[in-house]
Structure 1
Amino acid sequence: MRTLKDRQGGQCQCARDGKTPWMFIRRQRRDDTVVWVTAHLPLTHAATPEESDKHKAMKERIARTASRHGLGMQTEARSDDGRVITDVLVTGAGGRIGWEAQYSPITTSTSTSTSTSTSTSTVRRRSQRARERNIAPLWVTADVTSDLIDRASWARVDDVPWQRIVSPLAVIIRGGVRHLQIWKCTTASERPCPEAAGACDRWHSGWFLPPLCIPQERATAPDELIVTSADGEHLAVHFRNRQDPRRTSYVWALARDVQRWRVGVCPSSARTGDPESGLLHARGELDPTPDDQFQGMPAEVQAGRQPKPPRDGQAAGCQP
């Protein structure tokens, strides 16, 4: 359970004391009497100096880029009711984007299973509060196994030293930004049929990472997404998994691709009369089927030692 103040969106004293808002009940002996008392769960992870430096460096980069392009920018932005505090709030013609630089794990429990569910609920709760205040959340992580991936709008960057993050040198987004691809499934197609062993002569579509597009698309940099998301050129889109409708995922996509998807440019969706064909809502994000799962991953994972499977992968859409 959480403290009442934390559940209501405030910041309880425990946070200032370096404790989690999650609590449990334990027995304690007082003057020959056994009583039940509440106690905070211990923190399972405190940000290391390196993680803190990267966090601050990414916040600085976001703020500097927004200011350089004439966008509204506020660091540690607090909503009017005090329930939402955003690392960097960027405002443009397309809306308000709440950037969250997440370089340390989101953990609040000593139990592995509880830790996973808690981190998930934390991301979802904070993201929902932001959306309720017309802020589109955008979480940045460098961890391919991060629990925030597909729990809210996200972007994964290379894990580089803080000096590189804060420098003018380019940093590339490796996951979370996709491009719409539409193709006729024939024997001459450069893509295999996602539905059958051979060519089915139907139309398919999918959302692909830039290196997997045909022809290959240019990768997006965080500096670019800072501007285009605020201007409305990139939108966050929320999709259901085609193989498992219970699962949903998020991606950032070009507004023109989202528009093509929504108006039913995909011939198969036009035939079914469902122009969205799995799209839940714009200004949300998509879903994984691992095709790029080893790209940019740590050496130990590439070598076959997988402490935790990657979360960001391939997502497909329009069904025949």
Structure 2
Amino acid sequence: MANIVWHTKFQILLDLTKDDLDHPELPDLWETIYRTDRYYGHRGVPVHQRDLQCGGVCRDAGVEAWMHLRLRANGRREAVHERREDEARHTVPMSDEHKAYQERILRAAEEGGFHSDSEVRTRAGRSWIQTDTLVEGADGRRIGWEVQLSSVGSEGLRGVRARAAKAEKNGITPAWHTDRADYAQRHDTHWTRSNSLPAYVIAKTGDLRVISGFRKLDFWRCDVHAIHPCPHGVRRCGKAHATPTPKDVLFDDLVRQTAAGTIVPIQFRTATKLHRFWVTSADQERYNDLLSDTTTLPPARDDNTVPARASRNRPTCRPDLAATALAQPTPTLPAGQGAAPPQLLPAQLTAPAIEADSEPADRPTTPPQADHPQQLPTEGRSGLPEKLIELQQAADNEHRKLQQLHGNEECKQQRFRWFEAACEVQAAVTQYARTNRLNRYEIEKELRCVVRGTGN
């Protein structure tokens, strides 16, 4: 096929890539020439009598190569040579780098125990699929490697998606490899990319690194502790998300693991685009499980008890705040409960409060409250109520059970039980911090250290 056609009667060159065939002074030129060629075809007129010749490579070489026109279903115009040898004249000879990649794929597949072959033609209905290198993998898996190292621009590489879809339809997993950044940024198939290297380097047995096309999926929950922004554009939605991050892999390992099925292609959809890249089979299973699960976390509770001047990064010792805290009255609890222990300071100073146990007895303390007999929940050696510790242990146990499950339905039910237990812990921590005028964040942090530091 060619894009430039020479009309022997009109004595003009026709550029099929342009709507007006590069002749704006001749309206409806394409319709006229195409209908005439179709009329000749229906009447059985030979191609060499239809007034159309190749006006590109063949004409430059001084060869009269006759052609006929064809209109694809997608509207693309094509000019087809009458003889195969004329068509082959347009084929760019295989470069040394391309041959080196083919040899490397064959060698890597053989080292992994897989059969492979180059320039394989596979029957696909009435036509054929030409594959640069075909690797026969495990469980009937077939990986079709296509190496694209040509010098044409990214707009000149056409039909990639059609060729990849045709291969997939016939049981071949397409794997396209390149050394060009503009090719690797396309999303019409699963591209991988290495640095541009000479043939003798590619053919060596040393490490050849794939720098684009392989990803690792980071799974995270969209809550206040997440480091990634919510993909839905909201502040925090409470759902689980996956974020792909670039990861290098060796080319030989990629060839062998795609054949073994431990590295698989994936389609990752964002709000605006569909991305195609390679991931491990474990990441693919977790991603499919994520897409099939609609469970969300309970909505976060607002906690307005923390003063506006509080900060998570504040110093651990602030004498001025300690003096202010001592001057504040102790909150009154419902009748029937004892007085709050004097070693716990109000507001944000949980760490200095622990140090206060070793200070001299003559230091000013909170005024005695004998007139109001009070009693807080029983506290352990950590200074936290045993009830909070039991609730945190129960939530952690539910989380461990979730990690041991694999079925979607079982995971969904167990995840809901874990969320309920975690929600109960959060509510208890909030109530305890509000009642004792303590920093909720510090209480929650200390609780997790106490429970998880003991191996519970």
Q: Could you say which TM-score interval applies, normalised by the shorter chain? A: 0.5 to 0.7
Counterpart in the other structure of 1:300? none
1:126-177 deviations in Å (ceiling 9; x for gaps): 2222222211110110101127831112211122222221111111111111
Counterpart in the other structure of 2:76? none
Matched residue SS, 1:150: coil
Task: Mark the CA change 1:25 to 1:258 in structure 2 (over 3 Å): closer, same or farther.
Answer: same
**Higher percent of residues as helix:** 2
Counterpart in the other structure of 2:165? 128
1:226 aligns with 2:255: yes
Task: Mark the CA change 1:147 to 1:47 in structure 2 (over 3 Å): closer, same or farther.
Answer: farther
Q: Normalising by the residue count of structure 2, what TM-score does the alignment of the two structures yield?
A: 0.44
Q: Normalising by the residue count of structure 1, what TM-score does the alignment of the two structures yield?
A: 0.61
Matched residue SS, 2:265: strand
Preserved contact between residue 264 and residue 280 of structure 2 (Cα < 8 Å)? yes
Preserved contact between residue 190 and residue 278 of structure 2 (Cα < 8 Å)? yes
Aligned pairs for 1:80-119 (under 5 A) are 80=123, 83-94=128-139, 95-105=141-151, 116=155, 119=157
User: Within 2, Cα distance between the matches of 1:193 and 1:239?
Assistant: 16
User: Within 2, Cα distance between the matches of 1:128 and 1:41?
Assistant: 30
Matched residue SS, 2:181: coil
Counterpart in the other structure of 1:159? 196
Preserved contact between residue 178 and residue 184 of structure 2 (Cα < 8 Å)? no
Matched residue SS, 2:157: helix
Q: 1:262 aligns with which of 288, 295, 310?
A: 288
1:280-319 deviations in Å (ceiling 9; x for gaps): xxxxxxxxxxxxxxxxxxxxxxxxxxxxxxxxxxxxxxxx
Task: Mark the CA change 1:30 to 1:41 in structure 2 (over 3 Å): closer, same or farther.
Answer: closer
Task: Mark the CA change 1:85 to 1:126 in structure 2 (over 3 Å): closer, same or farther.
Answer: same
What one-letter code is carried by the residue in structure 2 that aligns with 1:253? V
1:150 aligns with 2:196: no
Counterpart in the other structure of 2:278? 252
Q: Percent of aligned positions with the same letter in both sequences?
A: 26
Task: Mark the CA change 1:196 to 1:79 in structure 2 (over 3 Å): closer, same or farther.
Answer: closer
* Cα RMSD for the two superposed structures: 3.3
Counterpart in the other structure of 2:100? 57
Deviation at 1:24, TM superposition (A): 4.5
Q: 1:203 aligns with which of 225, 240, 251?
A: 240
Counterpart in the other structure of 1:243? 271
User: Within 2, Cα distance between the matches of 1:166 and 1:270?
Assistant: 50
1:66 aligns with 2:109: yes
Counterpart in the other structure of 2:398? none
Counterpart in the other structure of 2:8? 28
Structure 1 segments, 4+ long, off by >6 Å, are none
Query: Which is greater in Rg?
Result: 2
Matched residue SS, 2:286: helix
Preserved contact between residue 234 and residue 253 of structure 1 (Cα < 8 Å)? yes
1:193-247 deviations in Å (ceiling 9; x for gaps): 445586665533222212xxxxxxxx2111111111111111112233x232xx4
Unaligned 5+ runs, structure 1: 1-20, 108-114, 211-218, 276-320
Counterpart in the other structure of 2:35? none
1:57-105 deviations in Å (ceiling 9; x for gaps): 1111000010111101111111146611211110111400001111114
Deviation at 1:28, TM superposition (A): 2.7
Unaligned 5+ runs, structure 2: 12-49, 59-89, 298-407, 409-456
What one-letter code is carried by the residue in structure 1 that aligns with 2:157? S
Counterpart in the other structure of 1:176? 213
Task: Mark the CA change 1:47 to 1:22 in structure 2 (over 3 Å): closer, same or farther.
Answer: closer
Matched residue SS, 1:253: strand
Q: How many residues align?
A: 226
Q: 2:121 aligns with which of 53, 75, 78?
A: 78
What one-letter code is carried by the residue in structure 2 that aligns with 1:90? V
What one-letter code is carried by the residue in structure 2 that aligns with 1:238? Q
Q: Which has the higher contact order (CA 8 A, sep 6+)?
A: 1
User: Within 2, Cα distance between the matches of 1:266 and 1:29?
Assistant: 64
Matched residue SS, 2:107: helix
User: Within 2, Cα distance between the matches of 1:189 and 1:250?
Assistant: 25
**Higher percent of residues as strand:** 1
Counterpart in the other structure of 1:185? 222
Preserved contact between residue 120 and residue 148 of structure 1 (Cα < 8 Å)? no
What one-letter code is carried by the residue in structure 2 that aligns with 1:83? W
User: Within 2, Cα distance between the matches of 1:90 and 1:170?
Assistant: 20
